[in-house]
Each structure stands twice: as structure tokens, then as C-alpha cells.
Structure 1
Amino acid sequence: MMASSALAQTPVALRHARAARSTTRPATHPGTRPATQAVPGVHTGSGTPDHTVDAAPGEAITVSATRRRTTTHDVANSVTVLTGKKLEQLGAQSYEDYIKLIPGATFTPTVPGISTITFRGISTTAGLDQGQGTTGYFLNDIPLTEPGFAIDIPNIDTFDVARVEALRGPQSTLFGSATLGGAIDYIPNQADASKWDAAAQSTIDGMPGHEVGYGEKGMINIPLIKGKLAIRGVLDYRQDPGYITNLGVGRNTNTTYTRNARASVVFTPVDGTKIAYTYLGQSVQVSDDPYSEPQALGDYTKQRGITERVYTQTQMHELRLDQELPFATLSAMGAFLRKGQSSYWDDTPFFGQVVPGLNSPTYAPQDGDSKSMYYEVRLASHQHSNFTWLLGAAFYETWKRISAPVLTPGIEPALAGIYGPGLASQLVSQGDDWENPDVAKYDGTEKSIFGEMSYRFLHDFTVTGGARVFNMSQNSSSELGGYGAYLDYGTLYHRGASTVSQTSALPKFSIKYEPNRQVMAYFLLSEGYRFGAPNTNPINPKYPTPAGTKSDSLINYETGARFNLFHNHLVLEPTLYWIDWSDMQTRLSRPDGITYGANVGSSTSRGFEFTGTWFTPLPGLSLNVNATYDDAHTNHTITEAFGTVIAKGSQLASSPKWQFSEILSYQSDTLPLHPLFSVVHHYQGSAPGLLGNSFRIGDYNTVDVRATGTFKTRIGTSSVSLYVNNLNNSHGVTMGYINGAPTLDQIYLLPPRLIGMTMNWHL
């Protein structure tokens, strides 16, 4: 029996790599099933003031955790803010470069454009989930994580960014669904009507024995009406060098091309009124899926008859009004978001001989797109009294479609020899497509009202209570025709459909103690949720499966503190958390190899996060240390009706018990060129790539070094940086899929040592 096309519902966990990348059916052939398988500029911690080169302690830093402009000192939550200046100093361009600086966060790079982040071990797969993910991704407070499965996960280039905010722990009260573990909010710089501004960046780098890459980026800010109207534009292009040798085509193949365009228009007609338009357009083109087949061919080597290209793109238009009222600030925003994915894979090793005697390649193209509309309005009281409040409402709607045919040249004549020419012509479309149509559609909406109130009493204490009431509904359908439908259902065409809806509420509570600006401590209770998803798997009376999953949720208990000691030269930020995850969604497998979504009971994640920053007595020398301990495991034995068991106490996916990162930096204001030196070390511990699977990822160290010199010219400030990333040339495993034979295993490795130079200029 052939696996169903159940595009949105096919699991990641028990199939080859294409499943995780494309959210399509399991790749199988008849009779065969896949085998189971802060330093300056870094604001971190428990919502307290921060040391920066580019921001003084206590300066107002917008923190999205509160949906209002405030300092991190005033947030009773675990928040890390990386400023644009610090990201530039570290040469950070994408998630790979800066997520390792955030306590409790794990990034598992696979295919650029669809790789995922996990917070505090809240995940059942380190790959792309078939349902809604557990981490929220935002741009300017607009969610990029739409209801349902993900078409792509934008990894936005950090050139001309104001800051990147990482919010650890569930954020659903103010941010909505899919923030079970945490959220990432990317805040670009806005147009500035007070002055002309411009910047440029040029990079060249390469890996010994591999390709050379480069990047060109530019920004210009134009005040059209002084103090009233301005426009800002950003263009950038990156060509990241390939390092995978595809023996089937005889060359390095996985060059990645990233194109990014952003625009900001800000109009302030009168004091207290701001109208802003933001545009983002980014595309990522991967010339060849960058997995290795190390067991069969060696590291950084694969063998496919074609280059398995992957193309993703994201476009967003946002219009926002911020209006100061006598008693509050009104914020109203609307956004249109469009995402797309196009890919092409050589699935010959997985399908083998689709028809006995037919030894032809099998290709699996896929095209998907989504359109989403998001609206939000909120009122936030001014912060001039002991009592503050925020009230808001949001509406999110998305429409998605994925098409994924399977092509085997010569299959129709081969089938004609078995079924006769009449039936064979109905089983195959256009000569070689034997799963047509193979389409999944999804419509989902999320409607909610939310709010928070805070009261400060006895001068040192602040108590906050909040809630979100939401309604979600979704419609999902899949269509399968041709030979695939005939094998699965005994018919030439099959359609499955499902509708799910739910209404619920989530509470939030915190209390903060702040006797002075040197000490702050808090306790937080918060909840998170995400949508369930219907199953549209092929019918098999021997293996009945549930209709789908219902929403899962978790409750987070957290306590943290921050200590600013020795006149802010030593900053310590410890955090303890305990998370109970109920009705956990995961993917399970039937004996016939078909996988399905199910709610499987509860799990617990408990851990400790620590950030320490020491500004040493030697001027310009600082040390930042981040450490995370996380024990994330199942609370019950998970037993399927068909016998598969995931043992009680199994470690959750992408949940290393230990992670460390240290940044040692030195900057001199007296030496020529004002040199800046930095060394970044990161250790990521071992964890399963998939829940209940023996395959492990992590357990590697990386070291990055960088030296920068700065000089002034008549037209601005320039700098030159020399750097080496992955100095120790670690071949650490970041993700993979084990399919029962070395020639089918697909393993993602850290890119090898990268040497480069970057030149920056700022007006």
C-alpha cells in the first residue's frame, strides 16, 4: 500500500528528511515503509536594566513582552534583547549567529529558510513540525507563525536592525498561539525624519576546499519633510558558500542565496500621532538540500542525480497607527503576509522500483503558498501612576495550499503491463505523475481579546494579572488521485476533510520585588497554547487512527532575579523554571508506516538559566557567560494501539541538558583604529532529534573569533573586520533522519570552518 498524500498531516518523526522539510506524505513504495527512526549590547535576563555600549543602564528599551515601550528592568519575565550594534560587532547575520547567545534557546539548522528554534526543550521534533510549532516568530509584533503548519520560517537578515528580542517561556497572553516555549521578535529600524542617514556593508568569505561567498548590503534614510515624514530603504544580498559535494552531479552544490528588501515610511503629522508603513520581502534559494550521507559516503557528501533545490519567500505589508490620548496610547495595526515554498527532490532511494522491473528515478516537486491577514488594536495606559493597564483584541486568518505530485518517467507503460492500458492511463497523469492531484488546503482563524493590569504597592512590590480569551477554528482538506489513491484507497480519487474549533482562556500572574535599582526579583505564572490539527491519513481498518489532535497547552512557573553589583560592573541573572505540558501533540507511527498526530499525555521541563556579565577593572575588557540546564522529559509511557512505546522519562527533542556560551571581548578607545577583539565559545549538549528516537543531535563545541578596526573619514565612519567562524572545525550534528540503511540516512552537520572579511560604512 502506498503512503497517503496527507500533506499537512504527514509526520516529521518517522520518515525521511523530505517529510520534515515539506510537510508532505511519507516517502514509501509498495511493500516498503520507512524505519522508525550579554556583553555590551546584549540585554538579557529577568527583565532588569542592562549594560550596553550603545545604551546606558536603565535607558528605555522597547520590550515586546509587555506590548508597550518600557525598560527591561520593568518586565517580570525572561527576556534577552540583542541590539543592532552588538549584532554588527559580532558579525551576526542570521539565527545561526546569535541564537547561541540566548539562554534556554536551541537552534537546529537544517535547510535555510525552514529551520527551527526551541525554547526550554518544549518540542517533540527538532525539525519542522507538521502542525503548528511551539515557538512564535514575529516581525514588528506581527506574527509570522500562522495557524496550522508552516510554509516557511523566515530567518531575517539582521542588517540595519534595531534589535532582536527573545522572550523565554510561554507568551500566549499577549502574543497568541504557537508561543508555548517562547517567541522571537525582530524589530527593524524605522524611518527617521530628523536626519539623512546611510550605511553599507560588504563581505567576502570562504571555506578552505569549498566555495567563496560574498554579501552586499545598503541602507538609506531620507527625511522628505523635516520632522514630519521620512522614508527608509534597505537592500541586501548574500551568497553563502556551498560545502556539500553532491557526487551525483560532481561538484559543491548547496550555495545559498538570500535576497532582502525592506522599506519604512513614517509620518507624524502632529505631536502624538504616528502613522508607519513597514514592508519586508525576503527570499532564500538553496541550490541543494545541505544534508550529508556520512555512513555511506562521509561528511559533507551526498549522492543524488539532481540538485535538490529549495526556495522560500516571505512578503509582509504592515500599516500601523500610534495615537497618544490623554489617558492612554492607542495602537492599531493591520498586516498582509504572503509566504511561499518551492522545492524539488530526488526520492529515488526511498521509492526504489515503484513498479517491479521499472528502474527509473522518482522525483518529488512541491509548491506551497499561504496568505494571512492580521489585525490588532490595543490601549495601553500611561505609566505615570501605580496602576497601569493594557486592553486589546486581535484577529488572524490564514489560507494555505500545498501541491506535491510524484513523478516517475516510464511508469505508465509499466503499469499498463500490470493493469492494462485503459486503467493505466487513469492511474497516471501527463505520462509520469502517479499522484495527481496531491493537494492539501487549510483555512484557519484565531480571534482573541487580551489584557493585563499592574499595581505597585508598598513602594517595592508590583503585582500583575492578565488573561487572553480566544476562539480558534480551522478547516483542512486533502485530495489524492492516480496510482497513489488507487493503492491507498482502492479508488482513482480520494478527498478527506476535517473541521476543528475551540474557545478557551489563559491566565497570567506575576509579582515583582524591587527595593532599589541594584536588586530585583520576581515570580511568574503563565500559560501557553497552540492549535490542534486534523489527521487526513489513508484509511486502513486494521489500524484505526484518531481524527486529529486537539490543542495542547502548558503552564510555566518561573522565578528570577537580577543583581547589579559593584556599581554595575558585575551583573548576575539567575532564573528557575518548571513547565507542565498537557495534552502534548506528537507524531506516532502505525505498523504500515503511516504516521499520525495524537495527544499523548503530559511532560515536564524544569531547568535553570544563568547569565553573568563582568566588566573587568581593565577598561574595555568584558566577559559574558550564559549557562542553561534543562531536564525535559515525558511523564508517562506513551503506548500506541499498535504496540509502539515511548518510555516514561524519555528526553524531549531538541532539549540538551546543558548549554553554555561565553563571550570575551576587548575594545580600546586609546589605541589606533580603536580595535575590538571578541572570542565566542558555544557548547550544545546532546538531545534526541525526534521524540522516542535513538538518533541524537548536539554534543559539540564551536569557537568564533573576530577582530575589528574602526576609522573616521570625511563622509562617515568605516570599519574592517576579520573573522573565523567554527575555528575548531567541528562537524557537530544539528539534525537528521535515520531510515534504516546508510544510503537512506540524511544528516545535517555544522558548516566547516569559515574565514572572511567584512567592511562597514556608516554616514
Structure 2
Amino acid sequence: MLAFNNSLGSVQVNSRLAWSIPLLGLAGVAGAQSDSSVAVVEEIVVTAQKRAERVLDVPVAVTAVDASSLRDQNLVSLRDYSTRIPGLQYAGGSLRELSLRGITTGGGTSPTLAVTIDDTPFGSTTFLGQPRFPDFDPSDMQRIEVLRGPQGTLYGAASLGGLIKFVTVDPNPDEFSGRLEVGANAVSGGTEGYSVRGAANIPLMTDKMAVRVSAYTRQDPEYVDNIFATNSGKDVNEVDVKGGRAAFLWNVTDAITVNLSALTQRTETIDGAIIRLNPLPTDYRPLFGDMTRNTSSQVGESNYDFYQARINFDLGSSDITSISSWNESEFVDDSDVTTTFPFVFNQLPNFPPPVYGGSPAGSVVRLQNGSSTDKFTQEIRWASSGERKLDWIAGLFYTKEESSTLQIVKAVNPSGGEIGTAAIFDIPTDFEERAVFGDLTYHFTDKFDVQVGARYSENEQNNGATSTVDPAAVVFFGDNETSSTPSEDDKVTWLFTPRYRFSDDFMAFLRVATGYRPGGANNNTPGVNLTFGPDTVTNYELGFKGYLLDRTVTFDASVFQIDWQEIQLQATDAGNLAFITNGGEARSRGLELALQINPLQGMTIGLNGTYTEAELSQDIPTPSINPATGLLNQGLNGRDGDRLPYVPKFAGNLSIDQSWELGGYSVFVGASLSHIGKRDALFTSTGAPAALQAQRISLPSHEVIDLRAGLRTDVWHLNLYVRNVDDERGFVNIDNRQGKTSAVSAQYILPRTYGLSIARDF
């Protein structure tokens, strides 16, 4: 593989519930009133532990994000609202570039956080499947739950840092309802975008049967220019998204409920938003001008299809739930990677001769990269109905996924003609996992209980590889070969959580939990181990949640430390072929705090902040020698005490919202300020000659101000917003991992964006 830069039934939650406000800085309305001038917050119910519970009763650090609030401001991707979720680090659109609580090495490996849809794992577990974060449009989502810290006991492998859980809207058999929404937005210095969404809930039999259907389409504004000779243009970074969902609910009897659903989304992109910066040592200025690229064309497409069948049997004192799912994900990309593989055309110091030396000026290297994953999962669990002396969950889990990656490296002349195909890599992989899990909570008193849980997981993998390499490129990419490498491992994860309730509105918990990420197999790279082992984490956490001052203040605070062992790391050989190895240890410790204050009727003040120290606690091992070339493989430059990539020491969000009731209208205004502290970028590569080594880059801190206002009636909703008011050029990522043999590339946060949406409920 190439290394390159580039459940339960329906739980109704009020769409304006204020718990999401301090996280998203969105307008909301408080619930019951304790007097005429002070508002109190309403309850939020989540299913973080696979049963319906008040968010303040869950002994896990969990954030509930209201999906209707995301729609109101067109916050349609994790990039848009990631800074407002405590403990979440966003460094790009790949699932491998996301992390929680600092558990990351920056990408290239299998994910360290998991994604589920209604308790069902989504996408590929392995790095060879190139998993991407699905970023489903919030059209038919009820909420998004973010669970921080390892969730290996209830949710299984690859949730080292935590879990992002999409919770969809169930059909309602009691009444017909629907919603139509149109929106428009524009980016400063760019073009306009639009969105159209619609949903309808249709009862088929009162109390018994209903369907819900939804559909959406949107086109995001473009704002990146391109000056490349054969691909020049203004505002070239196109993103088009289309999708929908259909769901069917059947209450067969009072005790049996069937939920069937199908979800699909298609995303098409042309060119991108990766910008080159001035050469090292960089001064953070773009090389070709503000928001300007100089690359040949790039096209991409992501497709997601998800099918689920959920059957619930209510046995009175307990429930049996069966969840079956099939999901398909595809990703294709055709991009310019000339700066990643400069040795294709140019002679580099201490490197072998170029593959296609003497090619015409303006020739480029293109990577045609495609991957697909088909995944089946089955879970059966038996759970007590709660409110007993002993509550339990016990279950069985099985998953089978087949992924395929095809990567083609081509040299192309300025007119688009092919100079040669340097290498073709066909990489199929199979992953199969079986697990048994259980969770017990014993209530010693009304105030004190202890939760214990464990999960045994075993997996089998088989990674194949077929390489077809141009003879002139063998020295870089290796010989032609076909290989098949099996691997397997097993692991026990566990948790221990005492909880004490000082009152119904205030509790504290101590949580010790473990997680693991499966090992796997490498391609047959000379001098590299054929397999790598799992890595593990142990999380120690003290948390407090509750209400204060007659429920006018809500707080959620956690202090944590995570010890990470046998870290999986991506390294590359001299030809930039990637492999995974184990090595070193790391530690992440920090403090997370979320506050919501309702000082006056209609006013909400939200504040959240995270302080994190995530760093290596052991040197990264020296890379091995490639016997085919005699060159040192490129590992990572990492020493004890170095910070983990893209984890700021401090990040936070402050929001203030005010609403008024005026003659049957609800009017609101609000503002929020987000801060992301200084971060270190990816570890740089080692193994290259000293003259080509580069120093690791730090990303400067940045702040973003958002404004919003709106007008609502019982059926109409008008929302206005301005995001990134100061048009701040904050960085999502900066990549100089390959050292001085490659360009410094960066991705910025979204420029100033204006927008509005109009919706009608019926």
C-alpha cells in the first residue's frame, strides 16, 4: 500500500435540548421554569451503554449532539463542528485522521476510534480498507453521541480512544409528519452553495406500523483556485452530496418490534482543498497564493450503503435484541502525487536513477487509488430492563468484512498521454471477528453501585498482494510478486466502574477500562515483519456530572490518563511503500469540562474546554534495513516526551444564546468562540539521508467566531448564520512527513461562510 499525502426502540429527544448548546453554540430553548426569570434544562436520553439512560446517569464521558441543530446552521460534516466536541481531534476526512483524547499517531494505521450506526459498526476495521469517516448528512439523524475513552467492552475492537455513534430517527406509527428545507450559503472569495432536504413520516397502521423516508442533495461552495497549466481555473474544489434513507417500523405484538432501514449517500469531488506552503523551513504562507493550488486534476467519489434489521423481544423484566447489518463503502480517487514520488522523474541525492528520467517538463505522477469494503455484522444481546438490584447485558457478536484496494502509479506527460505505469498494487484483505461480552451493574444501595464488564474477541485476517512493477521502478517499488499472509490474534478487554450518586442530580464515577486494536499483516516488503501485533490502552478516569442551583447549571467534568502500549506505527521503505510495525509507548492525560448556565429566561451560556498532554513515553524504534536496496526503511522520528500529532494542549468553546417570545414568534441570536491551541504535525520520516531530513512542523493556534440568528413559529424555521467571521486561516493539518523529498502541504479550515435556511414542518 502506498503512503502519500493526500438497540433500542425510539427514544424521543427535544430538538432544542440544551445539553448540546455548550458544545455547538446553537440556539435552544430551556424547559420547565423554576420562576418567571430563570430557565432550567431538560433531560436528554442517550443509548451510549446500549440501553436508554439519562445522559447524566451514564458513567462514561459522553457528548450528545443534536442533529436538528446541525441542520439549522448547515453543519453537515465533522469538520464543521469538531472544535466544539471536548476531546476530539480532527486532522482530515479519513477516519484514520480522527482521534479522541489524544490517542493518535496521525494516520496511516487502522483507526483508533470506531463509528457505529444504531450500535452497528460501520466501515473497515483495517488500514488496508482505507476507512473514511462517513460524514452522513444530518437529515435523518436524531443525534450523534461521542463517547470518550476506550469502549472495547461493549463496542469491540478499534475503539482505543472512543466512539462516534450516529442515532437515526425511527418511524412513528401514531401521526403523519414531515419537513421540507432549502438552504443557501456562500464562501468569502468563492462561490455559492445550496441544500435541499425533505422527510416524511407515514403511519400505515395506528400504533402498529409506519414508514419514514427522507432525501437530500447539496452542493458546497467552492473557494480554491488552480494555476496548473492544463487545469487552471477559479473556484475549482467541487463537492456534491446526494443521499437518503428509508425506514420501516412494525410493532408485531406488544412484545415484538421490528425495525428495517436502508441508508445511502454519494459524494463526488473535483480537485480538492490541499494547499502547498513555502518550502522548509516553512513560514506558513501558501506557495502559490491564498487558497491556490498548482496541480493537475483530481477527482474522487465516496459511496456508502447501509442496511439494518433490528428485532426487539420484550420479555418484561428483560429484552432480547437482534441486530443484523450489511454495509458497503467505496472510495475512488485519481490525484496528482508528483511531490510525493519525486524520484519518478528526478535524480535525488543518494537515491538510484529516476524511473522516467528525461520526461518532458510539466509531466506528472498520478495515483489512481480505489478501495471498497463489504461488511456483515450480527449481534444478539440479552439485557435486563433496568431499575433492579442487578442489571446486566450479555451478548454475542460476529463480523465478516472483505476489503479490496487497487493502486496504480502512472507517469503522464503534459498533454495527458501515458509515459509509463510504474507500479500496480492489488491488495485484497479479509477480516473476521467473533466476540462474547457481558456487563453487570450491582446496586449496593440507592446511591452506590459498581459496574464490571468484559469482552473476549478473536479475529482472523488474510491479506493478499499482487505487485506489477516496471523494471525501471523495481529498485523503488520492489519486484513483481504475489503473496498471501494470514494473521490472527485474540484479546480480553474489561472495565470497572464504581459510581456514587450524591443525589438524583449529582453523581461521581471512577472508570478503569481497556481497549485494543487488532494486529494484521503487511505486504511482502523486504526487511519487514510479515505481521504486526495488536496495541492496547488502559484508561483511568474520575468523572463528575450533574445539575446545580435548581438545575440552572449543568456540568460534566472528567480527569483521565490513558496508557498506550505496543503502538501501531506506519513506516515506509525507500519507494514510499507503507507497512505497519509495533513500537514504543505513549501516554495521554488531561481534563475535560463542559458547563451550561441558564441565568435568565431565554439565555444560555455554554463553555467547554479540554486540556490534554499526549506524548510518547518511549522512543520509537529505529527502522530496519531493506536488503533489496541496502537503504534504511523510513520509520518515524519520535523520542520520549515528543507530543502526539494534532493534539493541542488546550481547546475550548464559549457560546452565548438569547431567545425571546414575541407575538407568537420565537426570535433568537447567538455567538460562539472556538479556540484550538498550538499542535505538532505528523512525526517526520527517518531513514532518508541527512540532507533530506526535515524538522517536525508545529501548527499555530487559531480562533473562530460564529454568529447566528433566526425566527421560528410552530411550523416555520428561518436560520441565518455567519461562520468564521474573521475569515481566519487556521490549519486542519500540515504534512511534511516525507521530509525534503516532498512538498509541504496543508489543509485550512473553511473560510468565512454566510448562509440561511428556511424549513417548514407539516
* TM-score range for the pair, normalised by the shorter chain length: 0.7 to 0.9
Contact 1:485 1:492 in 2 (8 A): no
Corresponding position: 1:341 with 2:331: yes
How many angstroms apart in 2 are the aligned matches of 1:159 and 1:96?
17
The secondary structure found in structure 1 opposite 2:76 is: coil
Corresponding position: 1:634 with 2:634: no
Corresponding position: 1:620 with 2:618: no
The secondary structure found in structure 2 opposite 1:297 is: coil
The secondary structure found in structure 2 opposite 1:669 is: strand
Corresponding position: 1:673 with 2:671: no
Cα gap change, 1:743/1:655 in structure 2, threshold over 3 Å: closer, same or farther? closer
Cα gap change, 1:491/1:519 in structure 2, threshold over 3 Å: closer, same or farther? closer
State how 1:213-228 maps to structure 2 within 5 Å.
213-228=193-208
2:294 to 298, 303, 314: 303
Contact 1:305 1:346 in 2 (8 A): yes
Q: What is the identity percentage for the equivalent residue pairs of Structure 1 and Structure 2?
A: 22
Corresponding residue number in structure 1 for 2:519: 532
Cα gap change, 1:658/1:491 in structure 2, threshold over 3 Å: closer, same or farther? closer
Corresponding position: 1:395 with 2:395: no
Mean Cα deviation higher: 348-357 or 398-407? 348-357
For 2:325, the aligned partner's letter is A
Alpha-carbon deviations, 1:480-530, whole Å to 9, x = none? 113069614998621233211112211111011003123211100111111
How many angstroms apart in 2 are the aligned matches of 1:114 and 1:383?
34
How many angstroms apart in 2 are the aligned matches of 1:404 and 1:590?
17
Contact 1:294 1:301 in 2 (8 A): no
Corresponding residue number in structure 2 for 1:572: 555
Alpha-carbon deviations, 1:118-160, whole Å to 9, x = none? 11100000xxx33320011111111114321234220011123
For 2:647, the aligned partner's letter is S
Alpha-carbon deviations, 1:367-422, whole Å to 9, x = none? 221101000000111213221111001101100111111223579xxxxxxxxxxx
Corresponding residue number in structure 2 for 1:163: 143
Corresponding residue number in structure 1 for 2:19: 43
Corresponding position: 1:358 with 2:359: yes
Corresponding position: 1:120 with 2:101: yes
State how 1:274-285 maps to structure 2 within 5 Å.
274-285=257-268
Cα gap change, 1:484/1:208 in structure 2, threshold over 3 Å: closer, same or farther? farther
For 1:705, the aligned partner's letter is L
The secondary structure found in structure 1 opposite 2:190 is: coil
Corresponding residue number in structure 2 for 1:689: 681
Contact 1:61 1:69 in 2 (8 A): no
Corresponding residue number in structure 2 for 1:707: 709
1:233 to 193, 213, 223: 213
Cα gap change, 1:191/1:70 in structure 2, threshold over 3 Å: closer, same or farther? same
Shift of 1:251: 2.1
State how 1:378-527 maps to structure 2 within 5 Å.
378-409=381-412, 434-435=421-422, 437-483=424-470, 487-488=474-475, 493-527=480-514
Corresponding position: 1:17 with 2:10: no
RMSD after superposition: 2.6
How many angstroms apart in 2 are the aligned matches of 1:697 and 1:40?
35
Alpha-carbon deviations, 1:288-347, whole Å to 9, x = none? 1211123221231111132x1121111010011011013311100110110101111123
Cα gap change, 1:628/1:679 in structure 2, threshold over 3 Å: closer, same or farther? same
Contact 2:19 2:44 in 1 (8 A): no
Shift of 1:672: 6.3
Corresponding residue number in structure 2 for 1:727: 725
Cα gap change, 1:606/1:44 in structure 2, threshold over 3 Å: closer, same or farther? farther
The secondary structure found in structure 2 opposite 1:174 is: helix
Cα gap change, 1:737/1:301 in structure 2, threshold over 3 Å: closer, same or farther? same
Contact 1:134 1:178 in 2 (8 A): yes
Contact 1:292 1:298 in 2 (8 A): no
Corresponding residue number in structure 1 for 2:9: none
For 1:710, the aligned partner's letter is R
Contact 2:17 2:44 in 1 (8 A): no
Task: Tell me the TM-score normalized by structure 1.
Answer: 0.86
Corresponding residue number in structure 2 for 1:747: 746
Corresponding residue number in structure 1 for 2:349: none
1:652 to 644, 650, 658: 644
Shift of 1:280: 1.0
Corresponding residue number in structure 2 for 1:313: 303
Shift of 1:589: 4.7
Contact 2:109 2:570 in 1 (8 A): no
For 1:41, the aligned partner's letter is L
For 1:673, the aligned partner's letter is Y
Contact 1:588 1:640 in 2 (8 A): no
Corresponding residue number in structure 2 for 1:142: 120
Cα gap change, 1:707/1:355 in structure 2, threshold over 3 Å: closer, same or farther? same
Alpha-carbon deviations, 1:451-486, whole Å to 9, x = none? 101111132101011000010111111111130696
Corresponding residue number in structure 1 for 2:371: 368
Shift of 1:535: 2.0
How many angstroms apart in 1 are the aligned matches of 2:270 and 2:477?
38
Corresponding residue number in structure 1 for 2:277: 294
How many angstroms apart in 1 are the aligned matches of 2:468 and 2:243?
38
For 1:613, the aligned partner's letter is Q
How many angstroms apart in 1 are the aligned matches of 2:95 and 2:150?
22
Contact 1:367 1:404 in 2 (8 A): yes
Cα gap change, 1:88/1:210 in structure 2, threshold over 3 Å: closer, same or farther? closer
How many angstroms apart in 2 are the aligned matches of 1:216 and 1:153?
22
How many angstroms apart in 2 are the aligned matches of 1:563 and 1:321?
34
Count of equivalent residues: 694
Alpha-carbon deviations, 1:190-216, whole Å to 9, x = none? 111111111011111112321110011
Mean Cα deviation higher: 355-364 or 630-639? 355-364
Contact 1:552 1:582 in 2 (8 A): yes
Cα gap change, 1:517/1:670 in structure 2, threshold over 3 Å: closer, same or farther? farther
For 1:139, the aligned partner's letter is I
Corresponding residue number in structure 2 for 1:758: 757
The secondary structure found in structure 2 opposite 1:691 is: coil
Alpha-carbon deviations, 1:203-259, whole Å to 9, x = none? 111123211100111001111122211111110111001111011222211121111
1:325 to 312, 315, 338: 315
Mean Cα deviation higher: 333-342 or 476-485? 476-485
Mean Cα deviation higher: 200-209 or 230-239? 200-209
Shift of 1:92: 2.7
Contact 1:698 1:734 in 2 (8 A): no
The gaps in structure 1 that reach 5 residues or longer are 1-6, 19-37, 46-50, 412-429
Cα gap change, 1:300/1:269 in structure 2, threshold over 3 Å: closer, same or farther? same
Cα gap change, 1:482/1:224 in structure 2, threshold over 3 Å: closer, same or farther? same
Cα gap change, 1:229/1:518 in structure 2, threshold over 3 Å: closer, same or farther? closer
